[in-house]
Amino acid sequence: MMKKIKLKMLGDERGSMVVLESNTSVPFEIKRVYYIFDTKNNVSRGFHAHKELRQLAVCVSGSCRLLLDDGKSKKNIILNNPSEGLLIGNLIWREMHDFSSDCVLMVLANEYYDELDYIRDYEKFKEIINNK
Ligand code: TYD
């Protein structure tokens, strides 16, 4: 499952604000937040899927491109809007490309970091999808 969601903007004459809350604007319990920034030129990241983890990615500044692959089809999604979130379910191969120098990509996750939840081999990912 992958889906872009609109995040509610709480703006007034002073500027903009977005609030993210467990189980309301974010459809899971948030256990972990990390952000990727200061990405060097031509660097791509990711190249993995998760067995169980669910995430919401928000590009709070700048832009980047996510390549999402459910094992059947691939989608390129540009994130360049802090009032937009990208939900990424489990068993989605993801790659992150084309980071602008000012890109801050924030990721909310429903579980703590667990290396055992990672699938880092694309062939293994395809195998798991095909055996589902
Ligand atoms: P990595 O998995 O390479 O990041 P990405 O897939 O976004 O390119 O993570 C970089 C390092 O940080 C790696 O050694 C694992 C570690 N890490 C944590 O300790 N906790 C975390 O929540 C994350 C996302 C990574």
Tokens of 113: 């970091």
45 lines ligand 1 (CB under 6 A): yes
Residue 89's pLDDT is: 98
**Burial class (CB within 10 angstroms; exposed 0-12, middle 13-18, buried 19+) of 46:** middle
Q: Are 97 and 65 in contact (CB under 8 A)?
A: yes
Nearest CA to ligand 1 atom 20: 113
| 48 labelled catalytic | yes
Atom of ligand 1 nearest to the CA of 115: 15
Backbone angles phi, psi at 122, to 5 degrees: -65, -40
85 residue type, one letter = G
Please name which of 28, 2, 12, 19 lies closest in space to residue 82, comparing C-alpha atoms. 19
97 lines ligand 1 (CB under 6 A): no
Please name which of 29, 15, 3, 22 lies closest in space to residue 85, comparing C-alpha atoms. 3
Pocket test for ligand 1, best of 30, 32, 33, 34 (most atoms within 8 A of CB): 34
Nearest CA to ligand 1 atom 9: 46
CA 82 to ligand 1 center in whole angstroms: 22
Q: Are 29 and 20 in contact (CB under 8 A)?
A: no
Per run of 10 residues, the mean pLDDT along the chain (length 132 residues) is 95 96 97 98 98 98 98 97 98 98 98 98 97 89
Residue 103's pLDDT is: 98
